[in-house]
Amino acid sequence: MNSRERLLTALDHREPDRIPYDLGSTQVTGIHVIAHRRLREYLGLPEIVPTLCDSIQQLAMPEEDLIERLGVDIRGLYPRGSHNWNIRDEDAGDDWEYRDEWGIVHRRPKSDGLYYTVVRSPLSDSSLTEEEVRAYPFPDTGDPARIAGLRTLAESYRAQGQAVMLKALTTGIFEMAQRIRGMDSLLMDLVSNEPLAGALLDRLLELKLAFWETALPALGDVLDVVMEGDDYGTQVSQLISPRTFRQLFKPRLAELFSGIRRLAPGVKLFFHSCGNVRPLVPDFIELGVDILNPVHIAAKGMEPAALKRDFGKDIVFWGGGVDTQDVLPYGTPQQVRDHVRRNIEILAPGGGFVFTTIHNIQADVPPENVLAMWEALRS
C-alpha cells in the first residue's frame, strides 16, 4: 500500500499492511524545534534551519528527508493564521512579545523560552457587553490569502501517494473564546452571563465557517482529512460539565460540522480534545466525528482497552501511541518500546488506529526515545 491507501484502510476500520504513522500533519501531532534538531542530528541528517509551522508552540515542519526516513504517511496543510503568518516579535525586556491578529498578546522568555503563553486577552473587561463583542474587529477568516499555494502542495502530496490533512485556521470555539475573553472570565460567563458567552461563541462559529467556506470549495477534492478540535478535558475530569457542553457547545459544533460535511462530503473529520473526554465521546460520535485525537490514555478514564472496547467500531483513534508527559521524555528506550507495543496491541486490531504521540513531542524528549518509539511501531 502507499501512504494514502494505508490511511484510508485504517480509517475504514480495516487493518492495513502496517499502522499509519503521523508526525507533523497538525499542530497537535508535531515536534518541538529543539527535539527536531536533536533528532536530525542523531539520524545523521544535514543541519538545517527548519520552517516553523507553529511559532507559538515552536513546532518544526518535518522536511522531506525526515518524512522519508521515518515513513510518515500523512502530510499536513497549514493555512495562514495567527500562529504562522505575519509573526512580529517585539522586545519586552526579558521576553519576546507578540500581538496576534485577534488582539491576543503572547510572550516567550528570551532565555530558554520554549514556547509562547497568552498574557493578555483583548475582551477581558469585566463590563464587556454583547454589543462590544459584535463590534470587535475580528480578523477576516475567509481571506483567500490564507490558503494560497495549498492546492499545489496538496496535489504534489497526492502525486507521491501520501494522505493529505487540512488543519483548522484556529483552535476550537471554547478554547478560542478563553483566549479572547480570558479563561476565568469566560468560564464565569458560561454560568452567570450566558447571553454574553453566547454572543462570543456565535461570532467564533461564524468566523470558523467563513474559513471553511473559503477553503473547502478550493481544496476539498484533494483532501482526505480535515481537522477541528476543542479542549474539554483535564487530566482527571472536564473543564466544563457534560451538561454545559451539550447545552452550549454541542449545538454549535453540530452546525460547524454540518457546514464542513456540506462543503466536502468525502473528507473524514478529525477532532482533537485533550484530557479526560470519556463522557463526551458518545456525543462526538453522534456529531459525526470520524477520528478522535490525541487519545489521552494517561488521563483518568481514558484507559485504551476500555476505549477500544466501547467505541472502537464507531470512531478512529488517532494517537494514544505513547505518553508524552512521562514515558517518552523520561523513560528508558526499552520502557518506551514496551509501552508502545502494549498500546499497539490494544488499539490496532481491526483497524481504526493511526499511530502518533499523545500531543506534540516536546523539547526534552531524547532522540533515542523517539527512535525507540518508531522501532516499536515498525517491528
Residue 334 forms part of a structural domain:
yes
- Residue 240 per-residue DSSP state: S
| pLDDT value of position 86 | 86
Assigned domain for 117 exists: no
DSSP codes of every residue in 143-192? -GGGGTTHHHHHHHHHHTT-EEEE--SSS-HHHHHHHHH-HHHHHHHHHH
| Structural domain contains residue 95 | no
Q: Is residue 98 part of a domain?
A: no
DSSP string, 59-103: EE---HHHHHHHT--EEEE----TTTSS---EEETTEEEEE-TTS
What backbone torsions phi and psi does residue 373 show, to the nearest 5 degrees?
-60, -50
User: Which range marks the domain in which residue 287 is found?
Assistant: 3-86+127-378
Q: Are 7 and 163 in contact (CB under 8 A)?
A: yes
Mean pLDDT score, 353-373: 98
Residue 374 banded pLDDT, cuts 50, 70, 90? very high
Q: Whole-angstrom Cα distance, residue 8 to residue 165?
A: 12
For residue 185, tell me if it sits in a domain. yes
Coil/strand/helix, residue 208: helix
In a domain, 122, yes or no: no
CA 271, CA 167: separation in Å to the nearest integer?
A: 10
Task: Note the pTM of the prediction, 2 decimals.
Answer: 0.97
- pLDDT tens sequence across 311-326: 999 999 999 999 999 9
| Distance between CA atoms of residues 25 and 273, nearest Å | 16
- In a domain? residue 96: no
Q: What is the pLDDT of residues 48-101, one digit of tens each?
A: 999 999 999 999 999 999 999 999 999 999 999 999 988 888 999 999 999 999
Q: What's the pLDDT at 79?
A: 98
Asked whether residue 11 carries a pLDDT value surpassing 90, the answer given is: yes
Domain containing residue 277: CATH number: 3.20.20.210
- What is the mean predicted confidence (pLDDT) over 268-277? 98
Domain count, the chain: 1
In a domain, 110, yes or no: no
341: part of which helix (H) or strand (E)? Answer: helix 333-347
> Across the chain, where does the E strand assignment appear?
31-32, 52-54, 59-60, 74-77, 90-92, 95-99, 105-109, 117-120, 163-166, 225-229, 268-272, 291-293, 316-318, 353-354
